[in-house]
Structure 1
Amino acid sequence: MDIVKKSFPNGLPTLAELAEYNKGKDVPPETAWIWGEEDDIGRINLLTPEVVRAAQESELKDGKIVSLNWSLEFPREPSFHRAPLKHHIEVHPISPCIFDDFYNTNSQAGSQFDGLRHFGHLGMGKLYNNLDPKDVMTTTRCGIHAISNHGIAGRGVLLDYYAWAHKNGKAYDPTSSHAMTAADLQAVARDQGITFRKGDILFIRGGYIKRYHDLEKENPARLTELAKEPEFAGVQQSEEMKTFLHDNYFAAVAGDAPAFEVWPPQTPYFLHEFLLGLWGCIIGEMIYLEDLAKECEARQRWSFFVTSAPLNQPGGVASFANALAFF
């Protein structure tokens, strides 16, 4: 944070202020490589001991735990050409009463966090903090291990967009390219009484996992179609959404669909380019939010303490979410 204060004495810059700061530089105006040239964790820097302690004091009340991890069996046919989980158990040679199990899977096939090596700014051809794609295979810069070593813990907030939309006569199919606007997300926050804090971890329930399990019973062939030609609800690619996501300074963002943003994209750019490549904000996808939504609704409280323990794999691109919410 000291590095940021030297460049921005008035505090963390808005997206508009970044454009002025980057004027004349050979980078997009939204570039927020502001934590120093050696930084590998981006907005996880916002999770300072003070921020974590404040979240603990405000959110931990009775110790109720809710898992945010979808079963590793799902989705059975992952989108974007990813292979499904393969799991088997073997008897250990020492004794027929000892067992080991083995997992072969893509870390981004189910509940996961995209790390900073996953997706760069395509027009500029660089990943976060000027990481060159050719260095991904030869260095560990910006690897998921750096985030693992820091740890993820802080205040989580759930915007239950799916419930809000149905309550307000805006029902939609989560397996369609329905775009959530910045104005709608702000309306959900107002309706739930949420005031954002810098360093919050944002979760948005679009209803994808609920719809997935409905389709398992009603129309499983549709799930095969979605795996081959992905289509699902997500946040809109727009200037307003970029400002909303940037200026609230979330430490991480997450949703329950295979991509946090609406798919197929409705603009020539991806929000992944900005969140990951330019701002260093990791993205959670296929996070299991069904039980969390029920708990929040029952309590009429949509904030909580949240943790995630990414895999400590040097140079890793992404990780299973390993996420829990605490009340």
Structure 2
Amino acid sequence: MASDQQPAPSRPTPPQTLSEAAFRDLYRRLRDRAQGGGEDRRGALDLLTPERVVAAAAEVRCGRTVSLAAPIETLPGPDSPEPASHRMTAPTHREAGAPGLAFARDRFAMNVHGDVDSHLDALCHVIYDGELYGGVPSSTVTPDGAGALTVDLVRDGIVGRGVLLDIPRLHGVPWLDPGTQVTAEDLAAAETAQRTEVGPGDLLFVRVGHRPRRRSLGPWDVTRARAGLHPTAVDFLAERRVPVLGSDGNSDAAPSAVAEVDFPVHVLAVNAMGLHLLDYLDFEELVPVCEERRRWHFLCVVAPLRLPAATGSPVNPIAVL
């Protein structure tokens, strides 16, 4: 069995780019082997059987809970040109000083699919060649909302065994440099180093160190440079039959390994395979707990908002150890 100690610092091997033809071959192969999803079109969530949920709950040891979401930000920055807005609507000055009852009230609005705040991508979020997951026509998404594959699919939450693979830890660095692309070999090596294994129905979380880099060096334009998965790493997800993928980035690297497709991992995971994605999470409170307990798996509970026609939702996943 491999040691649980961190190795000496190493540099990830630069992965190769993919031609559009090679990407389309990969897309078709993953789409063809994906879970059918049934008439309810739940996609890969059908892998989260009641038996697997019960087994995940049985692994709770100390009952400690840890949030995997970052605090929502309201200040603009190079990675957040449209930040969330929060304002107080009450009490007024008159109400605040008056005797008797008064209420504090506020209003909140956000761009769900921004590059700062933690959120869930529904299956209707990614359109490729005019279709959503499962061949649903993109015309089901209208200015009034999405008509299929919405966040309403997960109105009862996503509950299962979460597994965190820490790629910077594998290479002995605090974070991966923007532009780094995580390979399937990296994911498998992290399993070995952490003495854990990703199995059918597991919620896979991949740490690239986006949050500590942002806090240490400041925000940057992540549309031009960010660490993420190489498209071929999605084969790992398919082989392990993973229904949910989460990252402290947005799972896609920039620049893209596919010149003609800016978000190849989104296309492969959401559109081809029917996976729900969790973007821009925060694992920095979870990592030391996992290291202390030498366990990198946990019960995970994800509860998006009830937004029946929405393509995504802000989310606060909770790890229970």
TM-score (norm 1): 0.80
| Cα pair 2:175 2:208 within 8 Å, conserved | no
Does the CA-based 8 Å contact 1:172-1:178 persist in structure 2?
no
Is the 1:82–1:106 contact (alpha carbons within 8 Å) kept by the matching residues of 2?
no
For 1:317, give the aligned amino acid.
T
Q: Alignment partner of 1:89: what SS?
A: strand
Matches within 5 A, 1:144-159: 144-149=151-156, 151-159=157-165
Please state if 1:65 is matched with 2:65.
yes
In structure 1, what residue type is equivalent to 2:253? V
Report the counterpart of residue 264 of structure 1 in structure 2.
255
**Shift in Å, 1:147:** 1.3
Give the drift of 1:107: 1.4
Using the TM superposition, give the Cα deviation of residue 180 of structure 1 relative to its aligned residue in structure 2, in angstroms.
1.0
Match of 2:235 among 234, 243, 254: 243
* 1:127 CA displacement: 0.7
- Aligned partners of 1:273, 1:106: CA distance in 2, in Å? 20
Amino acid at match of 1:154: G
Q: Pairwise mapping of residues 77-88 of structure 1 onto structure 2 (< 5 A)?
A: 77=77, 79=79, 83-88=82-87
Which among 148, 152, 162 is matched to residue 168 of structure 2?
Answer: 162
- RMSD of aligned C-alpha atoms? 2.2
Q: 1:167-217: CA deviations, max 9, x gaps?
A: xxxx4863520111111110010111112221100011100000000013x
From 174, 177, 186, the equivalent of 2:176 is 174
Q: For residue 118 of structure 1, report the CA deviation from its aligned partner.
A: 0.9
Report what 1:14 is aligned to.
Answer: none
Q: 1:174, 1:208 within 8 Å by CA — same for their partners in 2?
A: yes
Q: Provide Cα deviations, 1:228-249, integer angstroms capped at 9, x if missing partner.
A: x4311111122xx132111111
Alignment correspondent of 1:43: 44
Residue aligning to 2:13: none
For residue 155 of structure 2, give the secondary structure of its aligned residue in structure 1: helix
Residue identity matched to 1:156: G
Q: Which residue of 1 aligns with 2:118?
A: 111
1:218-237 paired onto structure 2 within 5 Å: 223=219, 225-227=220-222, 229-237=223-231
Identity of aligned residues (%): 28
User: For 2:298 and 2:180, how far apart are their aligned partners in 1?
Assistant: 27
Q: Which residue of 1 aligns with 2:23?
A: none
TM-score (normalised: structure 2): 0.81
User: Is the 1:148–1:310 Cα contact (8 Å) retained in structure 2?
Assistant: yes
> What secondary structure, in the 3-state scheme, does the structure 1 residue paired with 2:88 have?
strand
Report how far residue 90 of structure 1 moved. Answer: 2.0
Give the number of aligned pairs. Answer: 280
Distance 1:311 1:82, change over 3 A: farther
Q: Indicate the residue corresponding to 2:138 in structure 1.
A: 133
Q: Secondary structure at the match of 1:186?
A: helix
Shift in Å, 1:78: 6.5
CA separation in 2, counterparts of 1:182 and 1:294?
Answer: 24
SS of alignment partner, residue 226 of structure 2: coil
- Secondary structure (helix, strand or coil) at the match of 1:226 reads coil
The answer on whether the counterparts of 1:287 and 1:321 sit within 8 Å (CA) in structure 2 is no
Which of the residues 276, 280, 283 maps onto 2:274? Answer: 280
User: What is the CA–CA distance in structure 1 between the aligned matches of 2:206 and 2:75, rounded to whole Å?
Assistant: 19
With over 3 angstroms needed to count, the CA separation of the structure-2 counterparts of 1:247 and 1:185, relative to structure 1, is same
1:302 to 296, 300, 310: 296
Q: Distance in 2 between matches of 1:290 and 1:244?
A: 24
> Is contact 1:305–1:325 with CA below 8 Å preserved after alignment?
yes
Q: 1:219 is matched with which residue?
A: none
- Contact 2:228–2:252 (Cα < 8 Å) also in 1: yes
What's 2:99 paired with?
A: none
Unpaired segments ≥5 residues, structure 2? 1-26, 97-101
Q: 1:264 to 1:64 in 2, by over 3 A?
A: same
Q: Is the 8 A contact 1:33 1:278 kept in 2?
A: no
Q: How far is the alpha carbon of 1:40 from its aligned partner? A: 3.1
Return the alpha-carbon distance in structure 1 between the equivalents of residues 87 and 181 of structure 2: 39
SS of residue paired to 2:28: coil
Tell me what 2:210 maps to.
208
Change (3 A) 1:76 1:46: farther
Q: Quote the Cα distance in structure 2 between the aligned partners of 1:274 and 1:131.
A: 15
For residues 114-166 of structure 1, what are the alpha-carbon distances to aligned partners after superposition, in whole Å with 9 as ceiling and x for unaligned?
1111113x2x32111212111111652101011123x2011000001111111
Q: 1:252 aligns with which of 244, 251, 254?
A: 244
Within 2, Cα distance between the matches of 1:321 and 1:251? Answer: 17
* Secondary structure at the counterpart of residue 232 of structure 1: coil
Describe the shift of the 1:95–1:44 C-alpha distance in structure 2 as closer, same or farther (beyond 3 A).
Answer: farther
